[in-house]
Chain A
Amino acid sequence: MWVKNYYGFVWSCLVASFRGNARYYAWMTLLTVITLVGLNAYAKQLVYGLHVTGMSDHVSWGVYIANFTYLVGIAAAAAMLVIPAYVYRDSDMRDVAIFGELLAVAAIVMCLLFVVVDMGRPDRLWHVMPLIGRLNWPQSMLSWDVIVLGVYLLINMHVCGYVLYSRYQGREPSRWLYLPFIFVSIGWAISIHTVTAFLYVGLGGRPFWNSAILGPRFIASAFAAGPAFIVLTFQLIRRFSGYKISDSVLFTLRRIIQVTMLINMFLLGCEVFKEFYTDSLHVASARYLYFGLHGHEGLVPWIWAAVAMNTVSTLLLVSHRSRQIVYLNLACVLAIVGIWIEKGMGLIVPAFVPTPLGQVIEYTPSVNETLVCVGIWAFGFLLYTLMLKSAVPILTGERTSDRNGV
């Protein structure tokens, strides 16, 4: 019986997400077109191989893996809404926590896409599937990542799906069917980003990554960039959907970002100190990143831009200024971009420069590779918009099974 009801619910969500006014259609058309451009670039990559990217045997991971790493952090940041909502019982937060969980779903889907486009043999994806493939668990950190990301996606899909379905049916969700998952998801959010950090940390041949502080840095930067992203998203949601999100939610998030940005800057400082004060041969990658190595300086302007953005953002966040929404937004934009550079390109690429045999070969993403990335981002936004479009009327009680019985 409930299968039929649930099917009706999913169908009504689909129908709802295809209806909207001109502005909605324009936005969705734009995203779809960009997604198709990315798909076209990926089709070319499938035909000619990863040769069409800027990667090489020297720098064998690039902007795909950088985006993957960043987005695991965005997905984990849903916990920053869930903790105040359910641990500290902040009722304003509780009303919006679901938007964070939906964001986590979209972000994990984007993560999976970034991993798939990085694969030389996407046709063999089934080799990574537990049970049907041959997962090298518990040896490989990538096998752990497959499991924790998959489970995190399922947890969030369950929580969102169940809560929305109950509301759609016009009844309160049963606590036992979602609260335990909410609490598991908090620990799980930490685990997805820790495991992703361990992917890199565990490699003795890459001294730039082989640092115990990388895990904590990942968590701190994720819990800064993620909530910053959510602050901006919430303002868009309340502007365009009319769903009430109070300023108090934004300022709770501001307090979180204040602390996480400070911790992130502190940990980055610790890393920089260890590298440059020790001044062993292992400093080469960090030197390449911050000052350039043997005349190769590709990442230098980027990392200093990131340092400047993160510093300004932190200063804004700790000052009274950011109690004004405009300055809070500025701080958030700076944190989002600064951390994307610092932990995307600034973290992945330098570990490959110099190579383990001491060669300095730089990496620049190709146009095709960039289009694939932009396409995946557009697809992520598309997915998130579709989910919000179906969820908001259910949360406001405008759309229920009685009133929209499909």
Chain B
Amino acid sequence: MADLITTRQTADGPDMNRRDFLKKTPVAVAWVAALAGALSPLRNLGDTISAEEFLQSHYKELSPDDMKRVLARITDEVEREYRVRPHLRDVTPMDGVQFAMALNLTRCIGCRKCVHACVEENNQSRSPEIQYIRVLEMPQGTMDMERGNHDYDVEQVPRDGHFYMPVQCQQCENPPCVKVCPVEATWQEPDGIVAVDYNWCIGCRYCEAACPYWARRFNFSKPELPAEDVNPDMAYLSNRPRPKGVVEKCTFCLQRTREGRYPACLEVCPTGSRVFGNVLDPDSSISYILKNKRVFVLKEELGTRPRFYYFFDS
């Protein structure tokens, strides 16, 4: 047994002679072939990443000129892939604005129109479909989400003895997802929106593990977005098409709300259950709700301080 590890003392030393060479070459060739075989699936890798994309800096480190170049590059990429020239821009937060949303649980009928309007607005993958909003059908008399039904039949709503609770990113003031991200690929913007830089995210999914509201989604495969479904009105930090392998989430439709429009989920809601606005403006409808309704937040004990409130109307 001992001979196994003792060095074979060859007469010719480390210099390979011709006989050795002839003997060893086929073995080496076989191993190289095996390695090539193992790596052969990579032929289907498709588009390779350009040096420019590979070396792109973090969103916060991009100069205005850098940003212009990045936006031009992504615009071209989108046009090449979807044959639609997008109106892509970096929409920045407005001064003196802090967004919040409130949801009237008495009014919500669980029609899931917000779920689908969100997908259409934000260019999510259609297959598998990525949805930012999850509506729970809750039996009356409990707030235990384990008793909620995620798969209820939308034709049957609203069912007696139930209420409907849509849940999406709560845009926490103390966001656990931001704290855990190892590379600052997600952060809180001055207007309170938690954003993701899809070009910086490494896809470790630690934020998914940290989020208490199951609000984050990961692109397990390349998002499938039919060209005819593309919404060309795009922002860098929100609804531009995402690559494979990164995390995404609700951004309060910042491509709309930062330009004075309402989020898609609010606009489509047939019952007017959603209220959205600037909490720093005392005359806004959201400020009215926060002052006059008995609002609550989900999982308050976790200290996440959501900017997403729920209330029941009397």
**B-contacting 9-mer, from A13-21, A169-177, A246-254:** A13-21
| Residue B45 CB within 8 A of the other chain | yes
A172-207 contact mask (Cβ, 8 Å, vs B): 1 or 0: 000000000000000000000000000100111110
Of chain A, the residue at the smallest CB distance from B131 is A57
Quick one: which of B44, B148, B184, B211 contacts A205, CB cutoff 8 A? Answer: B211
B135 to chain A, nearest CB (A): 10
**B-contacting 9-mer, from A41-49, A90-98, A217-225:** A41-49
A56 to B214, CA, bound (A): 12
Residues of chain B contacted by A36 (CB below 8 angstroms): 34-35, 37-38
A399 to B244, CA, bound (A): 50
Majority SS at the chain B contact face: loop
**A-contacting 9-mer, from B74-82, B216-224, B279-287:** B216-224
B136 to A357, Cβ gap below 8 A? yes
A242 to B205, Cβ gap below 8 A? no
A206 to B209, Cβ gap below 8 A? yes
- Among B158-182, those with CB < 8 Å from A are 167, 176, 179-182
| Residue B64 CB within 8 A of the other chain | no
| Residue A121 CB within 8 A of the other chain | yes
Of chain B, the residue at the smallest CB distance from A404 is B7
B54 to A140, Cβ gap below 8 A? no
**B-contacting 9-mer, from A141-149, A159-167, A312-320, A321-329:** A141-149
A28 to chain B, nearest CB (A): 11
Say yes or no: A46-B45 contact (C-beta < 8 A), given A120-B246, A355-B214, A356-B211: yes
B16-31 contact mask (Cβ, 8 Å, vs A): 1 or 0: 0000000000000001
A341-362 contact mask (Cβ, 8 Å, vs B): 1 or 0: 0000000000110111111000
A135 to B183, CA, bound (A): 5
A49 to B220, Cβ gap below 8 A? yes
Residues of chain B contacted by A139 (CB below 8 angstroms): 179-180
Residues of chain A contacted by B214 (CB below 8 angstroms): 57-58, 355-357, 359
Residues of chain A contacted by B219 (CB below 8 angstroms): 49, 120
Chain A interface size range = 35 or more
Quick one: which of B5, B31, B183, B185 contacts A392, CB cutoff 8 A? Answer: B5
B29-67 contact mask (Cβ, 8 Å, vs A): 1 or 0: 001001101111110111001000010001001000000
Of chain A, the residue at the smallest CB distance from B5 is A241
Residues of chain A contacted by B243 (CB below 8 angstroms): 121
Residues of chain A contacted by B146 (CB below 8 angstroms): 281, 284, 354, 358
Quick one: which of B134, B202, B212, B221 contacts A48, CB cutoff 8 A? Answer: B221
Q: Determine which residue in B2, B148, B245 has the highest number of CB atoms from chain A within 10 A of its CB, and name it.
A: B245
Quick one: which of B1, B46, B147, B179 contacts A358, CB cutoff 8 A? Answer: B147
A18 to chain B, nearest CB (A): 10
**B-contacting 9-mer, from A80-88, A99-107, A122-130:** A122-130
B120 to chain A, nearest CB (A): 20
A19 to B85, CA, bound (A): 61
A44 to B54, CA, bound (A): 21
A89 to B1, CA, bound (A): 31
Residues of chain B contacted by A205 (CB below 8 angstroms): 176, 210-213, 299, 302
Of chain A, the residue at the smallest CB distance from B10 is A19
Of chain B, the residue at the smallest CB distance from A136 is B184
- Among B112-157, those with CB < 8 Å from A are 134, 136, 144-148, 150
A210 to chain B, nearest CB (A): 10
Say yes or no: A357-B218 contact (C-beta < 8 A), given A204-B176, A205-B212, A393-B7: no
| Residue B303 CB within 8 A of the other chain | yes
A57 to B217, CA, bound (A): 6
A398 to B1, Cβ gap below 8 A? no
A367-393 contact mask (Cβ, 8 Å, vs B): 1 or 0: 000000000000000000000110011
7 more CB-based (< 8 A) A-B contacts, given A60-B209, A205-B212 = A20-B5, A43-B38, A47-B45, A49-B220, A119-B202, A240-B4, A242-B2
Selected A-B contacts with CB under 8 Å, 12 pairs: A36-B34, A46-B42, A47-B44, A60-B209, A120-B204, A120-B246, A124-B203, A205-B212, A205-B213, A352-B209, A355-B214, A393-B6
9 A-B pairs with least C-beta separation: A120-B203, A205-B212, A120-B245, A242-B2, A358-B145, A358-B146, A51-B221, A142-B182, A43-B41
